[in-house]
Amino acid sequence: MADLIVVDRDGIERSLAARAGVSIMETLREVEWGVAAICGGMCSCATCHIYVGESWQGRLPAPQPDEKELLQELVGYDPAKSRLSCQVNFEEELDGLRIEIAPDE
Ligand code: FES
C-alpha cells in the first residue's frame, strides 16, 4: 500500500492507502466519493474521469487511443490533466500521487 492523495468534488483533500497493482478507479470506487465507474473499467463510460497534476503525468503510462477518444468527448476534458482512472494502475512508486475527481457529467 502507498498513499494516494484525492481531492473530491467538494474540494476536500484526503490521503488514502491505495492498493498497488490495481487501477486507481478500484480504490476510488471503494471509498464512494462519486466515482461510479459504471462500465467496470472497460473504458466505455468515462464516469471514472480524474485530473492528474502535470508534474505526475510523465510518471504515468501514456493514455491509449481509446482512452484519449473517450476523454475528448467530455465537457470537463483538460488535455493537460485528464485521465480515466480505470486505465491507470496504481503502483508503489506512485506513492504521494495527487489526483482530483473530475466533475460529474
Ligand atoms: S470505469 Fe468506465 S471508463 Fe473507466
Q: Walk along the chain (105 residues) and give the pLDDT tens digit of each residue.
A: 799 999 999 999 999 999 999 999 999 999 988 899 999 999 999 999 999 998 898 999 999 999 999 999 999 999 999 999 999 999 999 999 999 999 998
Place of cell 491507470: 88
- Its domain, for residue 86, covers 2-101
8 A C-beta contact, residue 99 and residue 3? no
Task: Provide the pLDDT for residue 1.
Answer: 78
Strands (DSSP E) found in 42-102: 49-52, 82-84, 89-90, 97-101
Q: Does residue 76 have its Cβ closer than 6 Å to ligand 1? A: no
Q: What is the CATH number of the domain that holds 63?
A: 3.10.20.30
In whole angstroms, give the CA distance from residue 102 to residue 47.
9
Task: Provide the pLDDT for residue 18.
Answer: 93
Domain total for the chain?
A: 1
List the grid coordinates of 87: 486505465
DSSP state of 3: E
| pTM greater than 0.85 | yes
Task: Provide the pLDDT for residue 74.
Answer: 98
Q: Does residue 39 have its Cβ closer than 6 Å to ligand 1? A: yes
Cα(35) to ligand 1 centroid in Å equals: 9
Q: Which amino acid is at 83?
A: R
What is the number of residues in the chain?
A: 105
Cα(12) to ligand 1 centroid in Å equals: 23
Task: Provide the pLDDT for residue 64.
Answer: 96
Among 25, 35, 89, say which to mutate for ligand 1: greatest number of ligand atoms within 8 Å of CB: 25
Task: Provide the pLDDT for residue 98.
Answer: 97
Task: Provide the pLDDT for residue 29.
Answer: 94
Cα(85) to ligand 1 centroid in Å equals: 7
